[in-house]
Amino acid sequence: MNLFKFPIKKFSFNILAIHVICWATFIAYELSIVYFTIGTIERPYIYLVYYPINICFFYLYVTLLNHTVIGWKLNFFKLIIGYFSLAVLYLLLKYAADCLLGELPNFNKKSLIYVEAFAPRNIIRGLNFTILGTFYWSANHISYFHKKFQQSENQKLVIEKTNAELETRLAKTHNAYLQQQINPHMLFNALNFVYNSAQKYSDDAANCIWLLSEIMRFSLEEAGPDGKIELTREVEQIENLVAINRYRFREPLYISVEIGNDLGQYQIIPLILLTLTENIIKHGHLTDPNSPASLKLYADETGKLTFYSLNLKKSKNGHPRQRKALGLQNIRLRMDSFYKNDYKLEINEPGEFYELTLTLKL
């Protein structure tokens, strides 16, 4: 259905009754004005002839508007020709009514007076009903378009709500799928055995296993009903991930981690910050003491969280870059689903460095 096509209302007795009451009120008002102005009114049959002509002109004009104005489009030529024809018909009917009622004088000076008065009087009367018809048509259109606009807005809100619910369900389903890929009970039993065995030979290896089990346990934890976890839990895993990688490499890792102390009151969807930290370690060159990497995480008094990282790039390699882009794409999809317009992820690559800034309204 075309939203901007105004339909002609179907006939009903309720609508007919309303129109009859309105016209009766209008006629009574005009006759009252005439009576209180000149002290008398014409004989009743005079009004029974002329008022139907005026009312018919009103409805024919409204019908003309309905067929020449569709939405915001106006067939100007059709409207002018139609209105001119309607005006001529209106004047002819008025002339015929004068003939029927014997209002025409014999051909003399009075005839000239009649002719001079006939056109202005009836043209003004026709313009009055033209203005009345225009207001009536405009009121109907404004009401109709307002109703359609409200329906359109309501449908838009329903669609947006449905899409948001679908996106949330999709994200939860995706997280649940990832969590169920590995049996947690079997995994932690195995890690506990390896930890106990490694502790006999190497404290460093045992610590790595313990840190790894903590990260795995965190990744398999179920989020709250709103899909979020405590921010401090994610921060703990960032520290664990950095610690594990300090054990992994023979050369020391030059990375500075600065984390604010006022994060305990906030929550966030899991694995976002941890994934960004993993990208620094996986794709950054962290063994150059002259270009240490930097990771900063803090929140201001308004609850805006900032995650900032700067690191030297590794030598160019197409495959890691592709995997990094895929990880960032997944992060954007999840952030779009949960935070909409309440976050901003900016990436800059000045020379040999890679800079990332995530700001998020918690």
Helix 272-283 to helix 203-220 angle, to the nearest 10 degrees? Answer: 140
CB atoms within 10 A of CB 162: 10
Helix axes 44-68, 109-179, angle to 10 degrees: 40
How far lies 353's CA from each of 317, 322, 329, in Å?
15, 17, 20
For residue 241, give every residue at least 6 positions away whose Cβ sits within 8 Å of its Cβ, in sequence order, or none. 211, 215, 274, 277, 278, 281
Pairing relationship of beta strands 267-268 and 229-230 according to DSSP bridges: antiparallel
**The pLDDT of residue 219:** 82
Residue 107: predicted pLDDT: 46
Residue 288: the pLDDT is 92
Please answer whether residues 229 and 267 qualify as being in contact, where contact means their C-beta atoms are separated by less than 8 angstroms.
yes
Could you list the pLDDT tens digit for every one of the 362 residues in the chain? 344 444 445 557 888 888 899 999 998 988 898 888 888 888 888 888 889 999 999 999 998 988 887 766 778 888 899 999 999 999 889 888 888 876 655 544 444 444 556 778 888 888 889 999 888 888 877 766 667 667 777 788 888 888 777 777 777 666 655 555 555 666 667 777 777 787 778 888 888 888 888 888 888 777 888 889 999 999 999 999 999 998 887 788 999 999 998 898 999 999 999 999 999 998 899 999 999 999 999 999 899 999 999 999 987 654 555 555 677 888 888 888 888 889 999 999 988 999 999 999 98
The number of beta carbons lying within 10 Å of the beta carbon of residue 190 is 12
Could you tell me the end-to-end alpha-carbon distance of the chain, in angstroms, rounded to an integer?
Answer: 43
Distance CA 28, CA 30 (A): 6
**Cα distances (Å, whole numbers) of residue 356 to 64, 231, 272, 296, 322:** 64, 19, 13, 11, 17
In order of their start, the domains of the chain are: 42-159 (no CATH), 251-361 (3.30.565.10)
- Which neighbouring-strand residues pair with 313? 284
Q: How crowded is the C-beta side of 51, counted as CA atoms within 13 Å?
A: 16
Is the pTM here over 0.75, yes or no?
no
Question: Which two structure tokens, joined as six digits, stand for 208?
Answer: 């790595």
At position 73, the amino acid (one-letter code) is K
